[in-house]
A and B are shown apart, each in its own frame.
Chain A
């Protein structure tokens, strides 16, 4: 049953001279939710962005170590990054819809990957919006501008846009940070649905949220992965004193 989807091996990331991550080793299981927690600036986003090689867009960053996706190393000279990012989708902290219609936003990925047939595109758009629990609210105005949607709807649209590419892994960087409590709980339900088909890695500042939705949790501090284990163990029986201090709210 258990299958190792992603494995990070001694990942180090440098922003110019500043080292943001120190030898991070993590095993991420398929079709599970893995939560990354830790105080601000400890390197959670940086780690997440090593998985789809997004850090290299920033001039002056350097990544050492290796990440394996399905046992294939992703930090290889001739690795096809576009193909990697098709398999590893990402939902950013701030929902950023493209200045296009709702339909075009979702169809963007499939179009990029060469699907031209209108019927097929419509099918994909509908399926993705349904999977993201947005279809019922907006099915009658697919051609209206995406920017007119509410923040919570935009976040689900962004998720639909990722799903339309049919990734295997979904990275989420604090996807609920801009949402109200109702939208947040809907998003959590959605994550519960998605994990049946996708491997999810999610950064969150909300420890109750991590405890509710994740199967595994990693605690980062100052660029180190201090503790990584099953969520129930980490929150009930933290092995490291620093983890305990953090989850009991003694600092951070």
Chain B
């Protein structure tokens, strides 16, 4: 039998090791991609349009497409997601059938694999609504995919706002909507931004669903109805079709850089807004 003390030490060692493994895995992946990718990266690789299916030139159009598609997805999903979160937390009666239905739907949506959304988007937006392979088809599909995350995180953020704020505001003669828009939502902004960051990660990383809905054209998208190839799709095609492994790694590295930049910007606005709204 082990003494209590040894067992305690073993458990500690195991937990420490688990932590170390996570850090090591992350570090190895990033280091590997950086080492393999950095050689492909220079200013031209970032700022030039791809030529010969990506064998030559850069990846500029895919960077623009990624940002474009992600922004449009957010513009669609954030108002709807935050709106339904406000409805569920502030207006719907607890356990009303509609609230239950919306909750259940959000949960189910969150569990569906992205390729299924892709198939739906292809059949519905691309073909039935005749939007074709385009930024708008891709963004609508993406918006459906990230909606549950945005709704859930916004719901949690709204729920975490102290009930006293609401009572105090209403007792001062504010209407319900004034209370929500001036006190509840500003306090919930940090939580809502967390959901947005998670969603951006998902949109930037998506491939299959976007190939089906936004297509894989390498041209520069001029408008919502133009097809587009995002960085992740480009990476997938470069690697899958054996076009250039170096360039695939270069793209992968820039995806990581883009995610880091977006997280940084989001955190910055988070700090700025929470300084206004939270002020500890």
A residues near B (Cβ < 8 Å) are 52, 54, 57, 59, 82-83, 85-86, 89-90, 92, 94, 96, 98-101, 108-109, 112-113, 145-148, 158, 161-162, 165
Contacts and interface: CB of A to CB of B under 8 A. Distances in A.
A98 B171 contact: no
Given A57-B167, A108-B174, 5 more contacts: A54-B167, A57-B170, A92-B168, A99-B279, A146-B279
Nearest to B187: A99
Interface in B151-187: 162, 164-175, 178, 182-183, 186-187
B277 interface: yes
A146 B183 CA distance: 14
Contacts of A99: 165, 186-187, 277-279
Contacts of B26: none
B279 A100 contact: yes
17 contacts: A52-B171, A54-B167, A57-B167, A83-B173, A85-B170, A89-B172, A92-B171, A96-B168, A98-B165, A100-B276, A100-B279, A109-B173, A112-B182, A113-B173, A145-B280, A148-B279, A165-B172
A92 B173 contact: no
Interface residues of B, number: 25
Interface string B78-105: 0000000000000001100000000000
Contacts of B178: 112
Given A101-B279, A145-B279, A82 B175 contact: yes
B280 A147 contact: yes
B182 A90 contact: no
A99 B276 CA distance: 8
Which 6 A/B pairs are nearest by Cβ-Cβ distance? A145-B279, A96-B164, A86-B173, A85-B173, A90-B171, A109-B172
Nearest to A145: B279
B82 to A, nearest CB: 19
Contact of A112 (B93, B165, B172, B278): B172
Nearest to B276: A100
Contact of A96 (B165, B170, B175): B165
Given A82-B175, A147-B279, A98 B167 contact: no
